[in-house]
């Protein structure tokens, strides 16, 4: 079985104001770095999410509001202080959520060994009723609930190594003991959540806040010794990686010191943890979704290291 790369050209056409870091060039930079490599990966187009899939996390009134704002906007329109939606924003965010659900479907149908969605914008800051931090729809949380509803999976873990805490995913999972969220992130930093003692209503949230300047080997040790053992103990059937690459030392938004190679090693460690979890719960599928990463060169290099790691499944 081949791994799958999920893409769609609309990711290159969801416009934001000049100078905004979450920009269409991110998508092009990743494809440039992939180039003619990774020929063993099959390609799949990200579909629009079904409205019912978006409603697994977001309210009808929120979805209507985003649709109304983005549907009429000739120029990018603000949804909050740093989250913008263009005329194509709703479609683009819908395909990001749809690509996440397709990733789940492809591994559950045994059509792919793993699947990585390169769609933007990211999703892990979007709360059920609030766009935040460049994010419109909470794609990882939507994919988790989709996996439960369509495929009857019981326990699902999201692993998030973006430099920012995924407040949206945490908010969606907080009161659900079947959903687990593990995150390393710089603190203090936007959005301000993610303290060690934020553990969820069922001890199902695992946060590892990191000081400015923390190096890659320390971050990987935190995952290996703290977060990944918690994920294994949760006995998930499915692991969804919220793959943000803004913890890279070159990233303009973060202050952590991961290298591109560190992201490859961390991915290998996640795969090892998935295999260990499989000893408890049978097959553990792994999919990955792009979150942040704002230095174009570091982003492209890190994505390639991540894909090489994912090939180890």
Q: What is the DSSP letter of 47?
A: P
Separation between Cα atoms, residue 273 and residue 257, nearest integer Å: 23
Give whichever of 87 and 164 is closer to Zn ion, judged by the CB atom: 164
Give whichever of 195 and 283 is closer to Zn ion, judged by the CB atom: 195
Q: How far is the CB of 84 from Zn ion (least distance, A)?
A: 16
Q: Which of 3, 123, 244, 309 binds Zn ion (CB under 5 A)?
A: 244
Q: First CA to last CA across the chain, in angstroms?
A: 10
Asked if 286 contacts 309 with a C-beta cutoff of 8 angstroms, the reply is no
Active site residue 125: yes
Query: Could you give the string, one character per residue 245-264, with x where binding to Zn ion holds by CB under 5 A and - elsewhere?
Result: -x------------------
Separation between Cα atoms, residue 289 and residue 194, nearest integer Å: 20
**Structure token digits, residue 1:** 């079985």
Q: How far is the CB of 109 from Zn ion (least distance, A)?
A: 31
Separation between Cα atoms, residue 71 and residue 137, nearest integer Å: 16
> Torsion-angle region of residue 179: left (phi > 0), alpha (psi -120 to 50) or beta?
beta
Active-site residue among 33, 58, 124, 125? 125
Q: Tokens 């770095």 map to which residue? A: 33
Q: How far is the CB of 98 from Zn ion (least distance, A)?
A: 21
Query: Could you give the string, one character per residue 106-135, with x where binding to Zn ion holds by CB under 5 A and - elsewhere?
Result: ------------------------------
Q: Which of 194, 236, 292, 300 binds Zn ion (CB under 5 A)?
A: 292
**What length is written for the chain?**
313
Q: How far is the CB of 211 from Zn ion (least distance, A)?
A: 17
Segment near Zn ion (CB under 5 A), from 112-120, 194-202, 206-214, 237-245?
237-245
Query: Where in 152-191 is the site for Zn ion (CB under 5 A)?
Result: 162, 164
Of 302, 301, 243, 313, the C-alpha closest to 277 is 313
Separation between Cα atoms, residue 94 and residue 14, nearest integer Å: 12
C-alpha triplet 253, 255, 261: angle, nearest 5°: 95
Segment near Zn ion (CB under 5 A), from 24-32, 216-224, 284-292, 295-303?
284-292
CB-nearest residue to Zn ion = 292
Binding residues vs Zn ion (CB under 5 A): 162, 164, 244, 246, 292
For the annotated catalytic residues, the residue numbers are 125
């Amino acid at each position: 079985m081949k791994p799958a790369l999920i893409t769609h050209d609309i990711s290159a056409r969801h416009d934001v104001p000049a100078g905004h870091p979450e920009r269409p060039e991110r998508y092009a930079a990743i494809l440039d770095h992939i180039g003619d490599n990774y020929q063993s990966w099959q390609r799949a187009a990200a579909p629009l999410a079904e409205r019912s899939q978006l409603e697994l996390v977001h309210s009808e009134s929120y979805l209507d509001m985003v649709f109304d704002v983005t549907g009429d906007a000739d120029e990018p329109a603000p949804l909050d202080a740093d989250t913008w939606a263009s005329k194509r924003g709703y479609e683009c965010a819908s395909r990001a959520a749809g690509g996440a659900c397709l990733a789940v479907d492809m591994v559950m149908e045994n059509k792919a060994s793993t699947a990585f969605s390169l769609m933007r914008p990211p999703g892990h800051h979007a709360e059920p009723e609030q766009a935040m931090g460049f994010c419109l729809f909470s794609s990882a949380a939507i994919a988790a609930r989709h996996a439960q509803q369509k495929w009857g999976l019981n326990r699902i873990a999201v692993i998030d190594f973006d430099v920012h805490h995924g407040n949206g995913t945490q908010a969606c999972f907080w009161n659900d003991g079947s959903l687990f969220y593990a995150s390393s992130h710089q603190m203090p930093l936007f959005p301000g959540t993610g303290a060690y003692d934020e553990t969820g209503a069922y001890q199902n949230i695992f946060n590892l806040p990191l000081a400015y300047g923390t190096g890659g080997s320390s971050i990987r040790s935190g995952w290996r010794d703290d977060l990944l053992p918690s994920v294994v103990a949760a006995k998930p059937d499915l692991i969804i990686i919220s793959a943000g690459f803004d913890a890279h030392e070159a990233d303009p938004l973060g202050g952590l010191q991961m290298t591109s190679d560190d992201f490859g090693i961390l991915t290998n460690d996640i795969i090892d943890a998935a295999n260990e979890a499989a000893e408890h719960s049978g097959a553990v599928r792994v999919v990955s979704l792009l979150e942040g990463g704002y230095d174009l060169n570091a982003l492209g290099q890190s994505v390639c290291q991540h894909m090489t790691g994912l090939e180890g499944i």
